[in-house]
Amino acid sequence: MDVSILLGSKSDMPIAEKCTKVLDKFGVNYQLRVASAHRSPKFVEDIIHKA
């Protein structure tokens, strides 16, 4: 199983780290990305479509 984690800001990283610890514990592959939908909506849209 693969999981995509998309953060809107680097300031969200502490919460994401809690998530990744759980995913690591269960051996789940994940991809963590930081991208602002406000600053770069097309980039975020591309990430979502490729997930």
Q: What's residue 1's pLDDT?
A: 56
Predicted local distance difference test score (pLDDT) of residue 37: 92
Per domain, the residue ranges of the chain are 2-50
**Residues, the chain, total?**
51
pLDDT at 50: 85
Output the tens digit of pLDDT for each of the chain's 51 residues: 599 999 999 999 999 999 999 999 999 999 999 999 999 999 999 999 987
Residue-level pLDDT at 51: 79
- CA distances in angstroms from 35 to 2, 14, 28, 40, listed in the order given: 19, 16, 22, 7
CA 32 – CA 6 distance, rounded (Å): 6
